[in-house]
Structure 1
Amino acid sequence: MEPEAGGRGGARRPGAGPPSTPPPREQERKLEQEKLSGVVKSVHRRLRKKYREVGDFDKIWREHCEDEETLCEYAVAMKNLADNHWAKTCEGEGRIEWCCSVCREYFQNGGKRKALEKDEKRAVLATKTTPALNSHESSKLEGHLTNLSFTNPEFITELLQTSGKIRLLDVGSCFNPFLKFEEFLTVGIDIVPAVESTINNSTRGNAEIGVTDTLDLLDEKQAVNFCAVGRKPKLPDYMCKSLRYCFSHCLYLAMTRLEEVNREVNMHSSVRYLGYLARINLLVAICLGLYVRWEKTANSLILVIFILGLFVLGIASILYYYFSMEAASLSLSNLWFGFLLGLLCFLDNSSFKNDVKEESTKYLLLTSIVLRILCALVERISGYVRHRPTLLTTVEFLELVGFAIASTTMLVEKSLSVILLVVALAMLIIDLRMKSFLAIPNLVIFAVLLFFSSLETPKNPVAFACFFICLITDPFLDIYFSGLSVTERWKPFLYRGRICRRLSVVFTGMIELTFFILSAFKLRDTHLWYFVIPGFSIFGIFWMICHIIFLLTLWGFHTKLNDCHKVYFTHRVDNNSLDRIMASKGMRHFCLISEQLVFFSLLATAILGAVSWQPTNGIFLSMFLIVLPLESMAHGLFHELGSCLGGTSVGYAIVIPTNFCSPDGQPTLLPPEHVQELNLRSTGMLNAIQRFFAYHMIETYGCDYSTSGLSFDTLHSKLKAFLELRTVDGPRHDTYVLYYSGHTHGTGEWALAGGDILRLDTLLEWWREKNASFCSRLIIVLDSENSVPWVKEVRKINDQYIAVQGAEMTKTIDIEEADPPQLGDFTKDWVEYNCNPSNNICWTEKGRAVKAVYGVSKRWSDYTLHLPTGSDVAKHWMLHFPRITYPLVHLANWLCGLNLFWICKTCFRCLKRLKMSWFLPTVLDTGQGFKLVKS
């Protein structure tokens, strides 16, 4: 069979004769020509595609000129094509020779005289055919023709005189092919020269200057090739116009950008000044409040602290403005703001509540609250806040520390209660910033319990409300405005060292034990002993069991997280994110079960707190407010990780490189001259699919490569073993990915060795056998010539979750625009699309040589990732918890079986089925990190 245009061999069809075998050197030369032409065509296709997508020619050309690697590769390929292929393979006269013959005909053999005589005749004819012109227009035309001087024989003779070699400007020539002709004085210019004789002009401005300098080499007689005939080139005018245009255009852009920047700066400055106003207002309120207390109580300590506070703020200002020590200045001022506001809260004001200055202080504090909320809201609406993963900001931490230090002015027991309350407030801020599922209920409980008299809340509730609201505003608003993902929000915790995270579990256990001991103080109350003693005994034991499970769950979570960290630091060069690694390690399944267990712990804490309620014990209430957000954060972490992490997946790839077949339709060995090319292409497919498995953390069962094909029995045993794989924890994988590239029949069946075939029905029968009582899904990726029949057939399946991603190769294609499609082209593009977030692959692009097509079963949209069943919970319990906790298994199973919103879920499922059957999306996200696509 004759090779196709472009140098690629076409696939043989059944019934065709034996393939023709060209000489090895000829075949190697064609392969090299195909490779070089592919480089050139790919650059052209990429530029056309970018222009269609972006439309900004200047930007595209600028980026193209900056891509030195592509330009050098293009220049070398063009030179090799011209020197080693085009010049040797063209029949008759080549393109360069044709250009030379045309130039000789024009300049040396009378062509120029003929052209000038034609122009003269046209000019004379134009003067005779314009009698209707008015006198003004006629005079303008005559003056114009006189300037051209076509009727002046001396001018024509001057133009026809030759002086030496023909001077040639070859624009866009990287290898300067006309230099070898002696009759030409050649100057070649290009953005990336392949030879030293070509001038480098890599930008527009340089190109204009290069053309100008080159034209200076030409006299007026020979510059006529580049200008209008009979007119001298007016390069200074052109350059002046270009410079004037460039200057005015750049000035306009600069002024427009300056206006935008000023607008942004003015808006940003206004918001920043609003924050300054809130801070200054708060400072005035603190100073006025402390002054009133000193004036009414005559306490000299207040005056000393007040003067010292002003002195510290002055030092902070000096550090900021004169020594540029912004961090130290802000830290010092925030610490003293918290301390002074704490003093304003804890100093007794009962004797002068109705004083005018005290009332003014209250109104100033209320104004500070309003300004602080308004500033935070405007900053977030305007987009001036850059959210970063953090637990507590420096400002929040220092103000909390300053407030806690101020509480030491009270008695030890009261001071300890306030310090614990400050810790509880810090835990609540973290809970809100992490967007925990129960953060808002915790905020409500905290606000309700905050003003109990037993908590020893400050004497000035307005000042304390100002402190509380100013700290809560940012994390509360960030529940809506923060766009950080789950792993980004929890990054300060998830990316901590192994020892720090282990110590956090120990610290959590100590806090829980302290709360239990404080709850036991309720037993001293003999007033309701018949209720307290039995209630505490029953619910205390329940609390102990739940929190042993809680601590063991946290410890097991950190154990699995340590395993994920090992993989993460090993594969950091592959840009694998921690959440993708956690998904591959089965962390989602662990978190879904742990979420229910932590919920039991939270419920047990609420019940024990209600049974042991001590309204007169401020330390108990403060510890209760610490434990609630702490357990709420653990519940929120497991809930969000269980919702956002992908499921586990396993993959198996089969590559059978048989593009040629015998007359009976069976795969046969390739001719020797095609072995090297096909081996390279098949190896590229294997590397691509292994990259796909590694990037998406898909467990690899194997990648089989067979040049002689696989028998039916061998494939049967391998596929059945693949389809029954399970995770390390026991349950089946959520997704099974099967990749096949090889010979297929017209109806889509895989062609196997020995004349056997594999139908889709057979594969589905094996899948149903292994997946009968489970809800895993199977994704089949086909890179073959006949994958469309399977795509159509899978849409009729109703009882399984099956998807087929295939490719459709264009039958007719313009070889000037693109190379003929071959097996492996789809795999390369599909893997690049799913593994490179910055790819520029457009599947809906017109004229694609390889089009993507996919189909899904009818129930595909109903699929949800594997949820823990009763047996899964039981296995998890046996692996991680002691036997004494087994009775809670039934309670966990009962909670898993609750389905309170089944009506809404049913309606939503019907809508998704309708969408998938009638409006199949162009890109379908599988939830595993990769996508199915169609053109």
Structure 2
Amino acid sequence: MDATVPLLSHKEKMKFRWTAIDRIQLLSEIFFISGATVALVYFASGHAERRYLLLVAIFGILLSLTSTVYRSVRVHLWYGMLVDAWVGFALTFLSEVSVEADISNRLLTIEQSLLFGGFMMRAVCEYIAAVDGQFSANFQHNVPWGSFLGILLSFSLVVDDSLSVLIHLLRAMLYILLALMLTLKVSFALILFLVTVIHDFVCSSKKDDWFLMFQYGLITWIYIRPLMQFLFGRRRQFQCWLSVFHLKALHYNLIYIFYILLTIFYIASHLLAAVKHPQLTLLWPVFMFILIMWLLIHFPYWIFFLSMFRRFGMESVQNCTQPICEQTRARLHLMNNCLRAYGTVVFWLSGCAMLSSLFLSLCLYSVITLFSFYSFLSVIIFELAIVDLSRLLSNSLGGSCIAHALFIVQNEEDKMETVGNRLLQFFKKRMLHFHRPRNLFRHDMEKTDLLYEINSFFTCTTEDGLQYDSYFFYYNGPTDVQGNWQLKDDVFTLDDLLTCWRANILKSNSRLLIMIDAENAECWLKEVEKIEQDAIALQTRVQVADAEPGSADVDFTSSWLNYNDSEAVDEYPTKCRRAASCISVLPSFEQSFASSTFKFSNSVKFLETVSFWKKTLPDRMVGLVDAATHLNSGIAFLCCNWPTRWRYFKSRFKVILRPNILDTDHDFVFCNSF
């Protein structure tokens, strides 16, 4: 009998999916709101609005203390509007205390208000997207409307002249239109960024335009991110987009190279802006360390592209002589390791930098200096956004995979018709290619026909002649006591499947993802666990002794689909809980959270990242790649990561509330309990 095990509720899954990026964003919001509140109270001395600002300060502190509630109670959009409005009002009013209200300073003020107000609201939306697995780009979530209201409120309190109020309102409305255009049009945002850079370097005689330049770049990038999130928010792998739009591997590589070069140029503009502001030199060690970390993370990618171009020329980049699956597998492994170490370090550095910024700005007794420090503090927050964007691009560009699927169903057609249609719809949404989808239901299949079907399945390639990154195999039918599939004339064993697999796929380094909904299927788990030379993951149901009444009537495939279907995330049937198990020998898919459930074989030499780089790169560069790959094993990262390790040991003494998940990188996962 199949056991019934408790499943996480949606609220519990939200609670236990905090990552280093989430902690960084939360810390940034708390420090920024608290710092702006203290600055407002400090610089309000001598002004008639001191009492009013004190109320605003108290309100800001309350917001900072309840920021966690803000993330948890995500349905209350009005709360986010209040945060945006307060930040917009605070920064705008702060700049009005002593800064002359010319066009440049006014534009800079509005940019800052929109930047921080919008970033807070957008960070929460991205957190929701990470939890729910879906995201929709719309005006309600992507445009910081509350910041606009706060800016208009500050204008009405500071400026007495009605004509000036009208001018400020007109400028605010123009910038609202500009923000909307930046939100929807990436091409317009890039043109604005390039025109601003050219104007600052060529046409302007002011030396302080570096400061305005990186403000333009910052707000431009912040408003590009929602569209990027919209394109890849549902984890649509980039190779799937290549397949849909009939693009070549040249576009794939050029987009990633362009992203790296543009980010380097943008960080360089930040550092040059710091040179123009001597007060910011004290923060140079912090930012240089972050920059070095960022360079080390992406260093293997640059070496890879340069080496491929040097060895094979442009033809290798365009035709992709190496299978894309090898590139994406190595890149995903590096990104997981490096981001895990990078995030924990920046988590502490960001807090120290924010505290030092606030302390120095208060000691210098200057509103414009405080404004400069907060502007450069925004660079730190943007660097954190770069980490998040890198993770997003690693899932969409670096971690992209396309798969081929084969379904073998030997049960009654009436019983499996509904589930079969759900399977087809589920995988069509995830852009899996099907091997003869019309022949889903098979009756009285002979072993010869099954072997022919499987060999034909494994020899299928993409339109470009490349092997698929993954081959998904689903079986639902009768089995014997050893888990072998019962056919009309014989049984089909795991060795038969592996023989076909190794004869066709082994040299291309593709992966085999197996899902079995049958009795005694756990016998194959023990066999897969012993495999040391193949990349195989197996998802199946298990049988335990203490079965609960009614659990045998629950369909395992339907429960698995309900768990993985993001559109039905709140529709889990309360009694459809299944005991499942997954065995994987995919070392490249190890997750960031600690888990001892999945057994990863260290003997899979051709799938190891370092081994891949050794085959691809010159010998003199392998040492540098090894250092970058094992970056997270140093003492500094061990010290900075102690809260995560403490949480891991603490969780060992508690009931594991979330299922252990193996991400297949195809927008569905294999779990150990659902």
The TM-score with structure 2 as length reference comes to 0.48
- Computing the radius of gyration from Cα coordinates, the structure with the larger value is 1
